[in-house]
Amino acid sequence: MSPTSTLDWTAVCPLDRLDPDRGVAALVDGVQVALFVTGGELYAVDNLDPVGGAYVMSRGIVGSRGGVPTLASPLHKQVYDLRTGRCLDLPDVTLRRHEARCRDGVVEVRLRQEE
């Protein structure tokens, strides 16, 4: 399974619309994306909780575990590594990641699709 970036960058919102450590949801080409700024880094992951099945990840609590930036699902508190999407509490569970960057004060997202 190799992630590939198949779509173009989409401008989503001004960077200052993101509060540190608190997510927002965005719709990118019909896909719900959760966006975060933590520790000065920008992260984009799927808004779908892979365990609970609801689109809520943008409302999770951002933090760290052992130095790794993390996101906890607000449904049942599973914790994910924001950099890799790997679930730190359950084996074989992964949160899909997307690419995010900031250009001229505007946050842009590029979807990844897994083959």
Partner 1 sequence: MSGGDLVVIGNGMVGQRFVEALRARDHGRRWRVTVLAEEGRPAYDRVRLSAFFDGVSAEELNLHTPDDGVALRLGEPATGIDRARRVVTTATGEHPYDALVLATGSYAFVPPVDGTDLPGVFVYRTLDDLAGIRAHGAGRRTGAVIGGGLLGLEAANALRLLGLATSVVEFAPRLMPVQVDEAGGAMLRRYVEELGVTTHLGVATTALRPGPDGAVAGLELSDGSTVDADLVVVAAGIRPRDELARAAGLAVGPRGGVLVDATCRTEDERIWAVGECAAVDGTCHGLVAPGYATAEVVADRLLDGAATFPGADTATKLKLLGVDVASFGDAHGATPGCLDVTFTDPATRSYAKLVLSDDARTLLGGVLVGDASAYPTLRASVGGPLPAPPLALLAPSGESGGGVAALPGAAQVCSCNAVTRDDIDAAIAGGCADVPALKACTRAGTSCGSCVPMLKQLLDAAGVQQSTALCEHFDASRQELFEIVQVRGIRTFSQLIAEHGRGRGCDICKPVVASILASLGTGHVLDGEQASLQDTNDHFLANLQRDGSYSVVPRIPGGEITPEKLIVIGEVARDFRLYTKITGGQRIDLFGARVEQLPQIWRRLVDAGFESGHAYGKALRTVKSCVGETWCRYGVQDSVGLAVALELRYRGLRAPHKIKSAVSGCARECAEARSKDFGIIATETGWNLYLGGNGGFRPRHADLFATDLSTDELVTLIDRFLMFYIRTADRLQRTAGWIEALEGGLDHLRAVIVDDSLGLCADLDAAMARHVASYSDEWRDVLDDPDRLRRFTSFVNAPHVPDPSITFAVERGQPVPARGAPPAAGADRRRQPVALGLPEVRR
Short-list 100, 60, 102, CA closest to 81: 60
Q: Per-residue x/- marks for partner 1, 53-72, CB under 8 A? A: xxxx--xxxxxxxxx-xx-x
The β-bridge partners of 22 are: none
- Near partner 1 in 9-48, by CB under 8 A: 10-13, 17-22, 24-32, 35, 38-39, 48
CA-CA-CA-CA torsion sign (24, 88, 55, 7): positive
Q: Which of 9, 94, 99, 110 binds partner 1 (CB under 8 A)?
A: 94
Decide: is 86 part of the binding site for partner 1 (CB under 8 A): no
Instruction: Name 103's Cβ contacts closer than 8 Å, sequence gap at least 6.
Output: none
CB of 19: closest distance to partner 1 in angstroms?
Answer: 6
Instruction: Name 73's Cβ contacts closer than 8 Å, sequence gap at least 6.
Output: 49, 51, 52, 56, 57, 60, 79, 80
Using CB under 8 A, list all residues that contact partner 1: 10-13, 17-22, 24-32, 35, 38-39, 48, 50-56, 59-67, 69-70, 72, 74-75, 77, 79, 90-94, 96, 113-114
